[in-house]
Each structure stands twice: as C-alpha cells, then as structure tokens.
Chain A
Amino acid sequence: MGLKRNVSLSAALGYKGQGPYLTYILHRIGGSALFILFTVYILALLGVDSMHALLNNWLFQVVFLAFGLFHAINGLRITILDLSPKLIEHFRTAINIEWVAYVLIAGFALFVILRNAFGG
C-alpha cells in the first residue's frame, strides 16, 4: 500500500467514478457512523445516561438509520458480487437495484421514527 495519498476528499468526490464511487464513499461514511454507534452502545451498556438519552433521540436515530441501512444494503451487494464474480459485469444494474431497495427500506424506517417522534 502506498504511503502517499495526494487526493483530497473534495477532489475524490468530483472523480468521474460517479455512481459506483458515491456508493464507495457512502459505504465508508456509513461504516464510520456505525463504529461511533457501537461506541455509544457500549457506553450506554455501561450505564452512561447521556449515551442512553442519545440513543433515544430521534435525530440520532434518523442519522444512524440513514447511514447504517445504506452500509448494510451496499455491503450485501458487495458480498453477493464478491461471491459471484460473473455478476460483476452487471454491477451498475446491481447498484440501481440497491438504491431502489434502500429508498424503500430507509423511507419506511424514517417514516416510523418520525411518526413516533412527533406522535402522528
């Protein structure tokens, strides 16, 4: 692995990889978010009240569900393509299917959280 990385995050986001690159960068953001969630969970288990309150906060739940669900669904696509290399030729179709699944699942989850938060 090279020890120099001369590409900034903003330049990387403008990279012409487009859709596949967007999933790649969102997967990393989602993974980092879940790592934070794991830490919050461990602290809540230890009885830190503020962490428990954070877990019950609707905004926290929205952010982590949005990123966490994307990480899980994108990870499933990556795993399927890894285990079935012949499908790699159809990776753009797989990404489109992934986005449809994500919008449906995340939309439903966000609807439930917001309905509970605002007592609809």
Chain B
Amino acid sequence: MTTRTLSIKKRGFSFEVFMWAFTRFTVIAMYGLILAGILGALSLSAQTGANFGDILYWAFFPNMAENPLGQVWMVILAKLMVIAFVMTACGHGVHGVLEIWDDYVTSESARRWARNIVITYAILASIVAIYIILSA
C-alpha cells in the first residue's frame, strides 16, 4: 500500500478542513490535559494526604464534594484544568456528532438544523459547566 498525503495548500480551506484540524488539535490537548491531570492529582494527593479519587471527584463535581485541597493555588489550578478539559471535550465532540449525523441524515435542512442545535447545545453546556465549577 502506498502512502497518500495531500499538502495543506491542496486541501483548501473549508468548514470541513477547519473542523478536521480543530478535532485533531483538541484531542491532542485532551491527551495532554488527561496526563497533566493524573500527574497533578497524584502529586497533590502525595503533598496533602488527600485520596487521589477524592481529588478527581471534587475537581469534576466541586458543588457536591468537600474540597480536599488546602491551598488556594491548588484549587485555582485544578478548576482551570477541569474547565479546559470540559471545553476541549465539548469542542471535539461537536465535530464527531455532526459527522455521524451527516452520514445518516441526508436532508440538507436537517443537517443545517443539527449543526445549529449541536453547536448551540455545546456552547450552553460549556457555559453551565464553567459557571458551576468556578462558583462552587
């Protein structure tokens, strides 16, 4: 099998090319955040004596669990990382869901509506998550 690659110039610049690149970059960011999050939570659990699982649970559900971290900088860092993860996951998911939808739904208006609904949902869900994580 021979390798077939197309330069960025020949690919042109359309919504699909932009979303393909966006999906790749967001997934790389997610892998980085997962790795940094696990290492950070392990480091914090070693420093504070808090349980690793408790730290991750509080980080994702700060309004439902007691804060196991003492220092303010740890709290701010953990919240920023969770917000970054939620936003990249949301951005990554939008393109995936629309790609699957486009493969099974053939009507142009249904595709347009799905695009508007999913992007609006992703923005609203991100805003809700950011608000709750920051305010808890």
Contacts and interface: CB of A to CB of B under 8 A. Distances in A.
B47 interface: no
A28 B93 CA distance: 11
Secondary structure at the A interface, as helix, strand, loop or mixed, is helix
Given A3-B108, A79-B27, 4 more contacts: A5-B103, A88-B1, A89-B1, A89-B3
Interface of B: 1, 3, 5, 16, 24, 27-28, 31, 60-61, 63-64, 89-90, 93, 96-97, 100, 102-104, 106-108, 125, 128-129, 132-133
Q: Indicate the member of A38, A82, A85 with the most B CB atoms within 10 Å.
A: A38
B125 A52 contact: no
Interface of A: 1, 3-5, 28, 31-32, 34-35, 38-39, 41-42, 44-47, 52, 75-76, 79, 82, 85-86, 88-89
A45 B132 contact: yes
Contact of B3 (A42, A44, A86): A86
A39 B132 CA distance: 15
Nearest to A88: B3
B96 A35 contact: yes
A4 B129 contact: no
A5 B93 contact: no
A10 B5 CA distance: 31
Contacts of B24: 79, 82
B106 A38 contact: no
A108 B103 CA distance: 34
